[in-house]
Amino acid sequence: MKTVIQRVLKASVVIEGEKVASIADGLLVLLGVVINDTEVDIEWLSNKILNLRVFGDQNGVMNKSVKDIDGDIIIVSQFTLHASTKKGNRPSYIKAAKPDIAIPLYEKFIQHMESDFGKKIQTGEFGADMKVELLNDGPVTIIIDSKNKE
């Protein structure tokens, strides 16, 4: 699993003109699933994101997690994170998991995050044409790939 995590002052997801998710301070997590991802990836990545210290403490040092600040989270599926651009100019998405594999893992990831986070996480809709709006705070943008954990 690969994620792009952005610390936001606000973020929202709109599908077909309807706002389906909206948060204030917190994290926008773009999540891409590959064909060989497992529940081990879900557990590791969930733990990493929820404990990632990217929010400022009383001294302005990034020393607090989204849990510490009681922030919110939006998770958006994003298969294009696994684009290969090595050949030509048209990205290839061969490594991205097909929906029959990706959807159950995406849903388990959300459930695992909610369980560990202790509150509801907002989401986009898998496979939908989404308009994602955010106000990146910092800017702080972190890329984490569960296949690069060592």
CA 75 to chain centre: 5
Q: Which two tokens stand for residue 3?
A: 């994620």
Given the DSSP bridges, would you call strands 2-15 and 18-23 parallel, antiparallel or unpaired?
antiparallel
Q: Residue 85 catalytic?
A: no
Distance CA 53, CA 61 (A): 9
Q: Which two tokens stand for residue 20?
A: 């389906």
Q: Residue 79 catalytic?
A: yes
CATH: 3.40.1160.10, 2.40.50.140, 2.60.40.420, 3.50.80.10. Which one for 2-148?
3.50.80.10
The 10s digit of each residue's pLDDT in 94-138 is 999 999 999 999 999 999 999 999 999 999 999 999 999 999 999
**One-letter identity of residue 105:** L
**Catalytically annotated residue among 3, 6, 79, 122:** 79
Q: Residue 80 catalytic?
A: yes
Q: How confident is the model at residue 149 (pLDDT cuts 50, 70, 90)?
A: confident
The 10s digit of each residue's pLDDT in 43-68 is 999 999 999 999 999 999 999 999 99
**Catalytically annotated residue among 3, 78, 122, 123:** 78
